[in-house]
Chains A and B, each alone.
Chain A
Amino acid sequence: MLNRQLILLATPRHIGMLDWRPGHLHWLGQHAANAAGMATFAQLVARHAHLPAVIIVDSVDEDYRGEVLPHVQGAARTALVARKLKQSFRNAQFAGAWRQARETTGRRDDRYLFAALTDHEWLVPWLAVLQREGVPLAGIAPMAIACQHLLARLHVAEPHVLMACRLHDSLRLSYYQDGMLRFSRLIPGETPTQLRGEAADEIAKTQLYLTGQRILPRDARLHVLLLDPTAQLDTAYAALTADPAFSVRRIEVTELARTLHIPDDFLLATPETVPLAAIAGKALPLNLAPTALLQRHVEYRWRRTLHAVAGCVALAGLAATAVLWLRAESLKDDIYQLDTQTRQLDVRYQAVARTFPRQDIAPEQLALTVGVAQALERPGPAVLALMTALGTALDGAPNVVLEQLHWAAGDALADNTATIRIDATLASFDGNYRAAMQRIEHFMQTLASVPSLHAVQLRSSPVDTGPDARLAGKTQAAGAAPGQAVRFSVDLLYREDAP
């Protein structure tokens, strides 16, 4: 529905209307250029005023000029084209330019085709109806442009093509170079049979004209396409086939119908629809309508674009909202299921927990408490064994008198060790410190020889012979009574032997 449009075929004698949308054609009839025809046309237009319209004009009052202009762009091109149009068609209101190609050599100029309706008086009443009804007019194009689209649809590959199209008892000859319109003329016929014999002559004349105007290269062979749904150009076909200057091809109705996707009977009943169906939905490369007439179509296009934008925005918003809402609903379903599962798990846990004995602490803490208690209850160093070990050493040193014994269990619960400090004195000290130190050393060796005693160290010595210490005393005569007590301390480590 978005591409639906009205395609009007306007001639000085009548106007036809085609309601087109992709894959669908509806011929709305032909209206003569008189009061009755104008009235029915107005009624019909009023009913289809919301559709954009394209007018295909088919008139003898056409003028085509090919020009090569310097390559410019933007406003300069617009001004250049406008100036050239004014020069070429001084008073023509319906004129247009088509920039067809760019030269590949030289200055690489642009090649233009300028076209105009030199007499447009017959068109004005039809346009007035359209304007009055507010129809958005998309453009006005000559019939030759519609035939160019037909050429493209037929996939004609020849570089120089002359299409002879017979419609409304008239013969239109249009020359296309490389698929683009270069020249067109309409030969009107007063009677249906008038043009039958003259068609071949008109084609030959046209070839001479094109060659003379250097539009058609001299050595080019013209490929003539005969488009005649009513089969009135058979005579011309025979004549042209015999002429070696031409290659001729007749386009059959069945081929046309297949190409344009139109039923054969519809095509035979309304041959006017052939060029209209070919150009339907296509952009107009050559638009003869003045800008003022296109204003409603500009509005129409903006309106349609804005409607599309609004629709897209609304659809996108709706889609995003739907996606998010569905996501939320899905999450809610998941939450419900999760809650159900959680309740079921809680019920099962409660069933298990009811079997637990009543305790103030958690089961993990209960096990930990037992573990800690077991660690604390591991036996420490045996006091009796410790004393026995020390006693063994003291028995071997009768001159050592024990003053104080201190032992402390090790910090670690795992090993049964104890640090021991022994404060003792030497009995019968005679003032000979060397002998005293030897006795202490002997005592320490005795301690170290006991298997469970280790790391025997002298903590404090009875005499400090270091260079930094002050040392004073007095010697005694041999055989003198024992003097001052000689005190010393020893540190050692007790470790119970493994059983």
Chain B
Amino acid sequence: MKNMLEEIGTVGFGESVKNLEANLARVIRGKDESIRLVVISLLAGGHTLLEDVPGTGKTTLAKALARSIGGTFRRIQFTPDLLPADITGSSFYRPGDGTFEFRPGPVFANVLLADEINRTSPRTQSALLEVMGEGQVTVEGQRRELPRPFFVIATQNPSEFHGTYPLPEAQLDRFMIRVHLGYPDLKHEIEVIYDQNQKHPLDELQPVVGQSEILGLQAQVRAVHLNEAVVEYIVRLVESTRSDARLRLGISPRGSLALARTSQARARIAGRDHVLPEDVRALASPVLAHRVLLDTKTKYGGVTPEKVIEEIVERVVPPR
């Protein structure tokens, strides 16, 4: 493993991540942890879901991330009348030579910003399933690969808000991490107002990591060593969500995979070549909470999925 890391080259990893995070922090004030989670998701090769009430900077963060990465960037504003073909693209008839031409939809990009994803119908949301899961699109029977890297960053309002369709569980499961931004504190909110007084700092943002660099970073993350005990710990955590009375739906194996991969990313960012149980524990809530369904009674008892996951983390014995 160590040899593999050496081949890929560890030089630059910390710096790239630092640059990326600094870039994002220029736009989103006082949310270092959320930024770190988004970066982890990117390095782990997964998609990110930003969820919070309107006006907390979800779209800004998504845009900032897209701008910080070189490569193509597309944005879809999800609306109730959006159709699947509007996302994936469709064929057009060319009267000149009488042939059909495929016009790729906005998903053909390196970074896809799916803004307010839960404002569209479940049908259109489901069109993203294949895109996010396999990195490909099948239109009119033809399979089309998406460019690499492919990273979806979606934003949504909490499902209790008006005019939202809750995301299907299968769709939610395809997001690696769900990040809550939350309101900034007093000091940072004052900074935000000054920052945006003359012009938006977003406009000045320059790409700091390239497309191929991201692929390299992702390969480095995958090379981080996962000890058997740590893997077993992940599986035990996930297993206990399946037998928890308060959860109607436990975590799928996709969830354990995501937890393992993000833990690798966290370990790599911390400069380690091995994952520690602490990595797993720190990421359990953001990686797992959006994948579970609460029992009706528990839900109306005011218990959040995050709380259930945290309790499980407190209960399952970590390896030492």
* Bound pair (A, B): no
B-binding residues in A (CB < 8 A): none
Residues of chain B at the chain A interface (Cβ within 8 Å): none
